[in-house]
Structure 1
């Protein structure tokens, strides 16, 4: 299944629906107080770049975002693919696009927080196959049995 990935505004009806599907997916997986969601309005902020994956019909089938925290650190946020496209590498394509932009922006460390439990196995596999390694608590997240933290050091391209 061919998909295209592009930087888009999250303030579109179909992207809002995709984020709603993400939120509904997460709801039963961990306590609400340990779900660190960004709203689409927060995702539209100057510190965040949103990537949308679309299928051949133009339907939004996946999303992910890069939130910049400082000159060196970027965070992967709101990674999600619709159940109908799981196993078709859409998440890998999104993560590669986010990582590429991070390198282009001079970010040398990507981090992320995700949940713990059976519903997160596929996410863990995606991140680990993409070179992320487990680490301790990051940023301002609480230390909790409900969160897993990952990081990836990026080799930056030499300045030309």
Structure 2
């Protein structure tokens, strides 16, 4: 990659970040019935248990991602989205690696996620699989849903996952 990506903690006040979050929610609702959409809205993303990050190439937003802590050592990945103009450049993997490092630094020992089970979510599932996530039963407040799959990954505190 010749482009340089900068990832920062985001307070969700910027129009670009809000726009990408809105596009993420719209995409989820376009592909999934509302009762099976588990994406967080802006208000939920601003909860103190959630850390949101945005990735930038120059002055353009390339991706967003977040994690929500359950307790002192577990967190759920939320709102992973790459802007359409930046798809296929590795920025989703870069954001995932960043979220893993930030979670590990915060004392998180395992990450969990819910994503779609349909064809529109194949790329996301492949990314998570290649990063060491494995399929698991529903966790937290989730229940079985044919439109959802659940994954988890232990974070080894002694290693970095940036090279995955």
TM class, shorter-chain normalised? Answer: over 0.9
The answer as to 2:26 corresponding to 1:24 is: yes
Aligned position for 2:152: 151
Q: Mind listing any 5+ residue stretches in structure 1 that lack a counterpart?
A: none
C-alpha displacement of 1:55: 1.2
Check whether the contact 1:75–1:112 (CA below 8 A) recurs between aligned residues.
yes
What is the alpha-carbon distance in structure 2 between the residues aligned to residue 129 and residue 94 of structure 1? 14
> Does the residue aligned with 1:46 lie in a helix, a strand or coil?
coil
Q: Could you tell me which residue of structure 1 aligns to residue 162 of structure 2? A: none
- What per-residue deviation string (whole Å, max 9, x for no partner) do you get for residues 88-117 of structure 1? 011011111110011111111100000111
Q: Is the 8 A contact 2:77 2:112 kept in 1?
A: yes
Tell me what 2:131 maps to: 130
**2:47 counterpart residue number:** 45
Q: Which residue of 1 aligns with 2:117?
A: 116
Query: How far apart, CA to CA, are the structure 2 residues paired with 1:25 and 1:39?
Result: 13
Q: Provide the rounded CA distance (Å) in 1 between the counterparts of 2:158 and 2:107.
A: 8
**C-alpha distance in 2 between matches for 1:2 and 1:72:** 32
Q: Do residues 91 (structure 1) and 92 (structure 2) align?
A: yes
Residue range with higher mean Cα deviation, 140-149 or 36-45: 36-45
Contact 2:25 2:41 in 1 (8 A): no
Give the alignment's TM-score, normalised by structure 1.
0.93
Conserved? CA contact 1:109–1:153, under 8 Å: yes
| Deviation beyond 2 Å, 4+ runs, structure 1 | none
Question: Cα deviations across residues 59-101 of structure 1 (Å, max 9, x unaligned)?
Answer: 1121000111101211100000112111101101111111001
Contact 1:103–1:157 (8 Å) recurs in 2: no
1:54 corresponds to which residue? 56
**C-alpha separation in 1, matches of 2:36 and 2:53:** 24
RMSD between aligned alpha carbons?
1.3
Question: Do 1:11 and 1:41's aligned partners in 2 also have CA atoms closer than 8 Å?
Answer: no
